Amino acid sequence: MALSNASGMTIARVTGKVVAWLVAVLIILIAAIALFIFMFDWNRARPLIDDKVSAAIGRSFAINGDLTVRWHRAAGETGWRAWVLWPTFAARNITIANPDWAKQRYFATLDEIDFQVKMLPLLAHDIVIPTINLVSPSVDLERLADGRNNWTFKLKSSAHPLAWKLDLHDIRLDKGDIALSDQQKGLAMQATVNTLGHAIPIGEVLKQQENKSRSASAETVGKRGAQQLSKQARAAASAASAAPASTASGGQPAASATAAATRQKSEPQYGIGWTATGSYHHSALSGSGKLGGVLALQDASRPVPVQADVRAGDLHVALVGTVTDPAHLAAVDLRLWLQGSSLDRLYPLTGITLPKTPPYATEGHLTGNIQPGNSVFRYEKFSSRVGGSDLGGTLVYTQRQPRPLLKGEVVSNLLQFKDLAPVVGADSNASKARRGDTARQPANKALPVEGFRTERWSAIDADVTFTGRRIIKDPALPITDLYTHIVMTDGVLSLQPLKFGVAGGSIASDLHLDGRERPLKARAATRVRGLKLKQLLPTVKTMQSALGEVNGDAQLSATGNTPAALAASSNGEVKLLVTDGTLSRLLLEAAGLNVANVVYEKMYGNRIVHINCAAADFVVTDGVLDSHAFALDTDDAVINVDGKVDMKNETIDLGIHPHTKGFRIFTLRSPLYVKGSFKSPHVGVNPTALALRGGAMVGLGLINPFAALIPLIAPSNHKPLPCQQLIAAMQSQRPTAPPPGQRKKSKGLRLPPGTPVSDAPRSSAPALPLPKATH
């Protein structure tokens, strides 16, 4: 028994000593480890870290400064956790190399990075980092014309899933710099990025940007235009756009202040600000903006707030909204403002072919779902001012192969007709200079010589309708409204139809422009229907009593890269017809220079003359319009016109031959002429025929003063037009045109027997000016 007790005590004593020694060794080991950790020169680990990171990213990575670890208790912890020491790692002077082809040596540099790591989560393979501080980061981004860029890394893939999980709570940035050189986009930029002093809700930024952008719109389209734009935008704003603005306006009732504060906290918050300068396509660039916090940029499921206000040359772009998964741009939801000198100058930025326009300002709601090769963007319910006109509607851009598609509807409730001039280069040279175009219209040319940018037509397909509901124009122009359906497919532009409301009727054309050919090949088929004579010349007093309608058709083909070149090479036919109308007798008597009747009508009032028919048939060959048939038949007179209009040389040479019906006293019945250039036409009387009548009058006056009146007395001319046959011929013989680029003179209208021709010789002498009453 005693032996047994002694043995047990011995075992217990030995066990105690072993445990004591083990505890002592453990304490010594912990102390040694702690001493090693606290005293270890972490710079010795730099080569290992450099090699591991370089292998992972496929670029040279280096910590060139000190690598240190500091230990301290964490702030904000309670209980026993407050006594747990956390390591704070710091590395200084970090560099990441660029590829060999890059201009700069380093892709990124960093003065210092430091972060804390929670100790206990390491036991569960969780790396919890409350905050990372970045001091003076600098990034150099570069893309060459061939598409190579330095921001795409060849990351080393692992066959096994990572056993560790990173949990990063916050990133603080202390003045970062970003340089970008993009040869593909023609962009060179330097930006400075910094953490904002406090978070700013998106609603507040939206309101600020709205006010700022509308002030910028006033600079572009004028104060009145900006006011109209604001009115349009308020009427068309979507509920989604309006909600953030109302929250930020501060106009909510006091009772809802708590709810408003809650909503404001739930709104996306901006945490980073940036400013940038540089150049875009050789134009000066400057801008500023805000982003959500750095961590928000890493969360692919959470929309990140973005804001930007950028000027590049005469282009001003501003946006406020959100981006989902910024690293891959999965979706955008933005309020977008644009101002500039001409819509066509957006092509380098967007790749979308737009027409040349006066200065514009626009705002709307841009949404997009972005997928490689299949992205869709919607510019919804946008409101615009283009020159003095308003525009609105919705456009959808769909990315597809072989070309993207732009589809939508654009409506103008108030369209200034002069704002359409830049579309075909018909605006003034001062306007061309304002919109940045180098082309200039020669002073002696009326037809536009500015070329079409056909090389852009193959960049995108289009299917867009445009409606001008009300047109503001010169009172002399009888145009009321406009509609067209624009279709562009593989460089071929079609307007089917291009329809104007004119003088109570319409002029509708089907235009087909093949931009794939050099020079451009064009076809046009035009239908004139129901133009009221009274409304055709609204400022001519003698036309206000006219009745009847003008109808007609035209077929033309041409080649050329400018409107002037197309006109100069055109071939085809133009036919016009008037039936069952009335005209002012004063107008006809003046046209026939029947002096006594003009005086009589002026003294005792104007009378109405019935139009039996009027027809015009022009044959167009190489840009020359030849009046194959052009005549007017009334109860009082027959007037026919002959001559040519040369669109290549922009000259007019027409003769107007009146044939009176009935006895006329004091008539100077001689052919009238319209001659000269398109810019300076002259209307007058054939001086040769007039001189013959004047000489006869003088000669007879020497014999007997009353005999001098004989040359001024015109006998009746009972040769009316064969109207029924002429009308039937016009209706049955449709105009034709050869294929573009082929010269083939049309035969013109087959005239029925009895159609009169000019009975006066043509003269090359200069025309005499007519009295104002006959213009």
Sort strands 492-502 and 505-514 into parallel, antiparallel or unpaired.
Answer: antiparallel
CA distances from 151 to 139, 141, 165, 228 (A): 10, 7, 25, 45
Distance CA 27, CA 24 (A): 5
Residue-level pLDDT at 642: 85
Residue-level pLDDT at 248: 37
CA distances from 556 to 621, 695, 711, 734 (A): 10, 46, 45, 12
Lowest mean per-residue pLDDT among 403-407, 473-477, 670-674, 752-756: 752-756
Residue-level pLDDT at 25: 57
User: Alpha helix locations (H) across 579-722?
Assistant: 585-591, 595-604, 687-703
Residue-level pLDDT at 189: 93
The pTM of this model reads: 0.76
Distance CA 347, CA 357 (A): 13
Contact indicator for 718, 537 with CB cutoff of 8 Å? no
Residue of 441 and 588 predicted with greater confidence: 441
Residue-level pLDDT at 771: 36
Residue-level pLDDT at 602: 38
**Chain Cα centroid distance, residue 87:** 57
- Beta bridge partners, 270, equal 200, 292
Sort strands 471-472 and 415-416 into parallel, antiparallel or unpaired.
Answer: parallel
Residue of 583 and 526 predicted with greater confidence: 526
Residue-level pLDDT at 641: 81
538: DSSP letter: T
Residue-level pLDDT at 159: 57
Residue-level pLDDT at 700: 35
Sort strands 571-584 and 521-532 into parallel, antiparallel or unpaired.
Answer: unpaired
Residue-level pLDDT at 160: 61
Reported confidence tier of residue 594, pLDDT bands at 50, 70, 90:
very low
pLDDT tens string 30-49? 555 555 566 667 888 889 88
∠ Cα 169 172 174 (to 5°): 170
Count, residues in the chain: 775
pLDDT tens string 613-635? 788 888 899 999 888 778 777 77
Residue-level pLDDT at 175: 87
Q: Is the per-residue pLDDT at 689 higher than 60?
A: no
Q: Return the H-helix or E-strand segment holding 526.
A: strand 521-532
Q: Is the per-residue pLDDT at 513 higher than 80?
A: yes
Q: Is the per-residue pLDDT at 702 higher than 60?
A: no
Distance CA 403, CA 409 (A): 20
291: phi > 0 → left, psi -120 to 50 → alpha, else beta; which?
beta
Q: b or e along 307-343 (b: 16 or more beta carbons within 10 Å of the residue's beta carbon)?
A: bbbbbbbbbbbbbbbbbbbbeeebbbbbbbbbbbbbb
∠ Cα 676 682 687 (to 5°): 105
Q: Which of 266-275, 320-329, 492-501, 657-666 has the highest mean pLDDT?
A: 492-501
Distance CA 151, CA 59 (A): 11
Distance CA 731, CA 710 (A): 43
Closest C-alpha among 244, 187, 506 to residue 365? 244
Reported confidence tier of residue 224, pLDDT bands at 50, 70, 90:
confident
pLDDT tens string 314-351? 899 999 999 887 766 778 999 999 999 999 988 888 88
Lowest mean per-residue pLDDT among 131-145, 675-689, 696-710: 696-710
Reported confidence tier of residue 709, pLDDT bands at 50, 70, 90:
very low
Q: b or e along 614-627 (b: 16 or more beta carbons within 10 Å of the residue's beta carbon)?
A: bbbbbbbbebbbbb
Residue-level pLDDT at 401: 92
Reported confidence tier of residue 299, pLDDT bands at 50, 70, 90:
low
Residue-level pLDDT at 551: 85
Residue of 560 and 27 predicted with greater confidence: 560
Report the share of the chain in percent with pLDDT over 90. Answer: 29
Report how many helices (DSSP H) and strands (DSSP E) the chain contains, helices first.
Answer: 13, 35
Residue-level pLDDT at 667: 44
Residue of 184 and 435 predicted with greater confidence: 184
pLDDT tens string 238-259? 544 444 443 333 333 434 444 4
